[in-house]
Amino acid sequence: MITISPGFDVAGVALTRFLELQVDINKSDPKKVPLNCSIHYQGEGEESQDIDLAPDRNLLTRVALYVLRCHDQHQFPALTTVHIKNDIPLGRGLGSSGAAVVAGVVLGNEVGNLGLSKDRMLDFCLMIERHPDNVAAALYGGFVGTFLNDLDPEDMARKEIPLSEVLPAPAGGVDTGLRPPVPPLGIGKHMSFPWSPDIKAIVIIPNFEVSTAKARGVLPTQYSRADVVFNMQRIAILTHALGQTPPNPDLIYSGMQDAIHQPYRKELIPGLTEILQSVKPSTHRGLLGICLSGAGPTILALATSNFDHIAQEIIKKFSEARVECRWSLLEPARDGATVAKL
């Protein structure tokens, strides 16, 4: 799932690259493993050393443990083997961490037999991932708008605690996270928007990562009124324009412009300015709009046709900046997080 540019921290769309879990629970196996959980991983990034398979250090299982411990279950209730198959590139602005958080909450709900609704699961997600557009898109699917509620001071204090106090961590010892703060009710809200079946998503994925922390670190702490209004005007139009059939390229291209984050992230992504300024519906048949995908460095181009040509033009621009890329053609994943019991 990704943020569509003017919808920074507000609007996101789930796309058809998936994080899948196959979970095997063996209640009769007496074998002892840490926290009753073992992890196997395949997919994006598996050749690197960055995927930690220890259940008390892996983000996905740490989130599941947080959900379980909020319900007085201090470890996985039976020997649990989690097979992770991840098709979402890491550190590319395609929502890999948000997907892991949602998967962790769903995993905790299922193995603990907790019976949480999706709305309540959103509260747990927002205790870990503070950007509702990403997790809401992954949880509910499709194109969604989100906001965080105003909470009373006591609930706000629970929402704003450091993540180290929420997630169990080995550095804190065996008691870390045994009594974590339970999420307030209704931290965030979401609404689903229509998406035209004619619109496909071209994602151009550079061969380097940009961490979310680094991408947020270059942003200013304050914005002018003009820049804030610029984005508000565009996201107000874009949420309707993406649902129209046939799509209107003038509305969508203008609606995908941004003044809040893209101008500040150009120093992190070679070729970004040239790509955003030169790839337009007037010069590229079938193109509707273009923006940075999430925190980047991936580029999102929405189009109705001519997908390969548009992708190759953007890849060419990146190559001129000595950046290698790959690309995929995706559609909205409309179902969000789903569970199938075999």
- pLDDT tens column, 41-70: 999 988 877 789 999 999 999 999 999 999
DSSP 3-state of 38: strand
Q: Do the Cβ atoms of 255 and 237 come closer than 8 Å? A: yes
If we measure between CA atoms, which residue out of 46, 94, 84, 59 comes closest to residue 210? 94
How much of the chain exceeds pLDDT 70, in percent? 92
What pTM was estimated for this model as a whole? 0.93
Spatial separation of the C-alpha atoms in residues 226 and 95, rounded to whole Å: 29
Please write the tens of the pLDDT for every residue from 133-184. Answer: 999 999 999 999 999 988 777 777 666 666 666 666 654 445 555 678 899 9
pLDDT at 32: 81
Which residues lie below 8 Å from residue 328, measured CB to CB, with a gap of 6+? 17, 202, 203, 205
- Which residue has better confidence, 60 or 130? 60
**Strand arrangement of the beta sheet that strand 79-86 belongs to:** 19-26, 79-86, 37-43
